[in-house]
Chain A
Amino acid sequence: MADQTEQSDCILVVDGDVLIRHAIADYLRNCGYVVIEASSTDEAKIVLSEESLTVDAVLCDAEAPGSSNAFEFRALARHNGRRSRSLSPATLKRLHTRPPNFVRRVRTLAGHMIRRQ
């Protein structure tokens, strides 16, 4: 498993759209976070169940594909002690129209979730 010894906060980004997922992940990496990308809630559950990985926060698309919907997944993530915030489709659409504002908001949200732990 990847070495997380540098202690950077780790964010799990869950989104079925590779371009949106990449844009969010790329921005968060540039902000100094370690980012794990999951394309579905099923992949995200595999990540959360991996004991060698420390996930500090989860950003999940409200319409992420997978056998659990985003809200069921959110409950699971919280049960595992992670902060989770679902992003609505309307919010995600802003990525296409106002990317700088959107990604800045994602960064604020991620930092907020991590500080609250």
Chain B
Amino acid sequence: MTSAEVLVGPGDGHTPIILLAEDNVLVRFTTAEMLREAGYTVLEAVDASEALALIATGHPLDLVLSDVRMPGEMDGITLTYAIKEVRPNLPVVLISSHLDPNTTHVGEAFLSKPYQPSNLLELVERLVGAEWQIKQSNPTAS
């Protein structure tokens, strides 16, 4: 972990923070509002470069949700690899209606579109805080 990163977790009593990368503005807004209503703080990115710019600020994050197909040089799968380079324990969920099940990725989970909101919320609840728990159990983990 670099000095610019801030790692806080559920034990610190903060509202879990989710970074949502989705290029469709209506899907992004709808998904973000659903998560906000569930009590999460949501940062919105329109593509991978915006997501990486937000991560580079050192803003605390508990989870990344990323669409697979996005405009720009990076799709969601490439973005996941880039995230794992700097935050290896930060959980990433890939969302897509197109992903081949045999596609290799390093995300923690994959959610197929269309999905029920309850499925997304269950997945988020399960994965939020995973990085913090790894750090707590192994303080030397990067």
Whether, in the assembled complex, A64 has its beta carbon less than 8 Å from a beta carbon of chain B, the answer is no
Q: How far is the CA of A43 from the CA of B29 in the complex (A)?
A: 11
Q: Of A19, A22, A25, A43, which is within 8 A of B25 by CB?
A: A43
Q: Are A22 and B44 in touch, CB under 8 angstroms?
A: yes
Q: Are B44 and A2 in touch, CB under 8 angstroms?
A: no
Whether, in the assembled complex, A1 has its beta carbon less than 8 Å from a beta carbon of chain B, the answer is yes
Q: Are A34 and B33 in touch, CB under 8 angstroms?
A: yes
Beyond A22-B43, A22-B44, A43-B46, whether A36 also contacts B54 by CB under 8 A is no
- Write the nearest CB–CB distance from B39 to chain A, whole angstroms: 14
Q: Are B30 and A1 in touch, CB under 8 angstroms?
A: yes
Q: List which B16-41 residues lie within 8 A (CB) of chain A.
A: 25-26, 28-30, 33-34, 36-37
Interfacial chain B residues near A39, Cβ < 8 Å: 25, 46, 50
Interfacial chain A residues near B53, Cβ < 8 Å: 18-19
Q: Of A3, A18, A47, A53, which is within 8 A of B45 by CB?
A: A18
Q: How far is the CA of A50 from the CA of B54 in the complex (A)?
A: 28
- Chain B interface extent, by class: 10 to 19
Most B Cβ at <10 Å: residue of A1, A22, A38: A22
Q: How far is the CA of A50 from the CA of B53 in the complex (A)?
A: 29
Whether, in the assembled complex, A56 has its beta carbon less than 8 Å from a beta carbon of chain B, the answer is no
- Write the nearest CB–CB distance from B8 to chain A, whole angstroms: 17
Interfacial chain B residues near A34, Cβ < 8 Å: 33
Whether, in the assembled complex, A90 has its beta carbon less than 8 Å from a beta carbon of chain B, the answer is no
Instruction: Please name the 5 residue pairs, one residue from A and one from B, whose CB atoms are nearest each other, closest first.
Output: A2-B33, A18-B50, A43-B25, A39-B46, A2-B30
Q: Which B residues lie at the A interface, using CB under 8 A?
A: 25-26, 28-30, 33-34, 36-37, 43-46, 50, 53-54, 57
